[in-house]
């Protein structure tokens, strides 16, 4: 693209050094962005990396709620993102005013919010969880009235693990994980009877019911390498394939990786449209200009910090 250095990756690496920036990337970023990062991980690992950060700048290649969490943990640090419009259907589907009214209808309940929500929603929560620690975090509220927000599929999965059918659930969903088709998956399993099915807990129940392994992106990646199966059917965003392939190569293993089928074969719906707004070009501009910056009003930040820190303490 004109106006950009010919070797964009080297230019980004140089700018990162010059700026003293820490580059964090989620597994759903494009391969080249993952390879440039100081730390690539799932939501929990990235929140932990942000907590440990001592740089002047954090460049967050992920979606807005992840960068916002980094800012909440590092109020003095400049947190920038390649594209401020990189949102999340779960966060967008839980507007703070509506959530406040929902909580008023369930007075007395504790609130466990999935990290995929806005700072305002975090500020109304007792504890935050990610997909890798959700069940353990929910166990903190054994015997208590509990609101789970904003992912109904994750909430159902947690309820099943805990044997609880009394959870009060905000009815949000991830547009990427909801598009995997249980019907097409069943057909695919007939063609690959030996395959292991790995799924993210944001998938709907009829997909999760067919999974041999359910876990966060980091857990899916680790299991893909450790599993004895030679064919893996994977129901999550296809950014994870890059890490799985890298780690299989490091371990000297070869496996057939099959993306779980979606409902509409004509679209790349297994790619998160928000995550994929971040491009190498925007990452370059973001490092060059140290913008766009993520900010959180201080009164909200202080309230949102407590449940995030509590989660990090419980997950250490
Ligand atoms: P992880 O917690 O597995 O990183 O999931 C984040 C996410 O947005 C899944 O869609
Ligand atoms: Fe949000 Fe789903 Fe994208 Fe994850 S994959 S960031 S939950 S829209």
Give distance in angstroms: CA of 49 to centre of ligand 1.
Answer: 15
| Other Cβ atoms within 10 Å of 90 Cβ, number | 26
pLDDT at 3: 85
- d(C-alpha 74, C-alpha 48), whole Å: 12
Whether the CB of 90 sits within 6 Å of ligand 2 = yes
Ligand 2 pocket test: pick from 129, 153, 175 the residue with the most ligand atoms within 8 Å of its Cβ.
Answer: 175
Specify the DSSP class assigned to residue 54: -
Per-residue confidence in pLDDT tens, the chain, 316 aa: 458 999 999 999 999 999 999 999 999 999 999 999 999 999 999 999 999 999 999 999 999 999 999 999 999 999 999 999 999 999 999 999 999 999 999 999 999 999 999 999 999 999 999 999 999 999 999 999 999 999 999 999 999 999 999 999 999 999 999 999 999 999 999 999 999 999 999 999 999 999 999 999 999 999 999 999 999 999 999 999 999 999 999 999 999 999 999 988 777 788 999 999 999 999 999 999 999 999 999 999 999 999 999 999 999 9
Give distance in angstroms: CA of 316 to centre of ligand 2.
Answer: 25
- d(C-alpha 301, C-alpha 181), whole Å: 38
Ligand nearest to the CA of 89: 2
C-beta of residue 127 within 8 angstroms of C-beta of residue 315: no
Retrieve residue 32's tokens. Answer: 């080249």
Number of alpha carbons in the 13 Å side-chain half-sphere of residue 299: 0
Which residue has the CA at smallest separation from atom 3 of ligand 2?
Answer: 272
- d(C-alpha 219, C-alpha 221), whole Å: 5
Phi, psi of 29 (to 5 degrees): -80, 160
- d(C-alpha 308, C-alpha 8), whole Å: 35
pLDDT at 88: 98
Q: If you compute the radius of gyration of the chain from its CA atoms, what whole number of angstroms results?
A: 19
Whether the CB of 270 sits within 6 Å of ligand 2 = no
Give distance in angstroms: CA of 95 to centre of ligand 1.
Answer: 20
Long-range contacts from 189-196, C-beta under 8 angstroms, 24+ separation? 189/233, 192/231, 192/233, 192/258, 194/229, 194/230, 194/231, 195/229, 195/231, 195/232, 195/233, 195/256, 195/258, 196/227, 196/229, 196/231, 196/232, 196/233
Retrieve residue 308's tokens. Answer: 């995030």
The residue with tokens 């009235």 is: 145
- d(C-alpha 229, C-alpha 213), whole Å: 12
Write the CA distances from 223 to 137, 205, 219, integer angstroms.
Answer: 22, 21, 6
Which residue has the CA at smallest separation from atom 4 of ligand 1?
Answer: 42
pLDDT at 118: 98
Retrieve residue 13's tokens. Answer: 């690496």
Whether the CB of 27 sits within 6 Å of ligand 2 = no
Phi, psi of 307 (to 5 degrees): -70, -25
Give distance in angstroms: CA of 63 to centre of ligand 1.
Answer: 10
Pairing state between β 213-214 and 168-169: unpaired
List the 168-169 sheet strands across, edge first: 127-129, 110-114, 146-149, 168-169
pLDDT at 2: 58
Q: Angle 59-269-97 (CA atoms, 0-180°, nearest 5)?
A: 65
Whether the CB of 274 sits within 6 Å of ligand 2 = yes
- d(C-alpha 74, C-alpha 172), whole Å: 28
Determine the 3-state secondary structure of 112 from DSSP.
Answer: strand
C-beta of residue 289 within 8 angstroms of C-beta of residue 59: no
């Amino acid at each position: 693209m004109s106006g950009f250095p010919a070797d964009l990756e080297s230019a980004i690496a140089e700018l990162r050094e010059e700026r003293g920036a820490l580059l964090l990337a989620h597994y759903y970023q494009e391969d080249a962005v993952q390879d440039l990062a100081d730390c690539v991980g799932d939501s929990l690992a990235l929140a932990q990396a942000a907590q440990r950060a001592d740089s002047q700048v954090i460049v967050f290649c992920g979606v807005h709620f992840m960068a916002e969490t980094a800012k909440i943990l590092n109020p003095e640090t400049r947190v920038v993102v390649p594209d401020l419009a990189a949102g999340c259907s779960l966060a967008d589907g839980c507007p703070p005013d509506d959530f406040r009214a929902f909580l008023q209808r369930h007075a007395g309940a504790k609130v466990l919010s999935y990290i995929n929500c806005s700072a305002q929603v975090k500020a109304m929560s007792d504890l935050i969880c990610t997909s890798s620690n959700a069940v353990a975090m929910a166990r903190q509220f054994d015997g208590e009235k509990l609101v789970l927000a904003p992912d109904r599929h994750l909430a159902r999965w947690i309820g099943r693990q805990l044997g609880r059918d009394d959870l009060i659930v905000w009815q949000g969903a991830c547009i990427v994980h909801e598009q995997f088709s249980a019907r097409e998956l069943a057909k695919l399993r007939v063609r690959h009877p030996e395959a292991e099915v790995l799924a993210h807990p944001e998938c709907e129940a009829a997909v999760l019911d067919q999974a041999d392994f359910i876990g966060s992106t980091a857990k899916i990646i680790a299991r893909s390498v450790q599993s004895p199966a030679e064919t893996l059917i994977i129901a999550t965003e296809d950014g994870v394939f890059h890490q799985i392939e890298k780690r299989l190569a490091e371990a000297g293993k070869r496996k057939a990786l099959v993306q779980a089928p979606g409902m509409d074969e004509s679209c790349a719906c297994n790619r998160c449209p928000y995550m994929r707004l971040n491009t190498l070009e925007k990452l370059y501009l973001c490092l060059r200009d140290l913008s766009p910056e993520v900010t959180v009003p201080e009164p909200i930040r202080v309230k949102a910090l407590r449940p995030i820190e509590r989660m990090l303490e419980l997950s250490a």
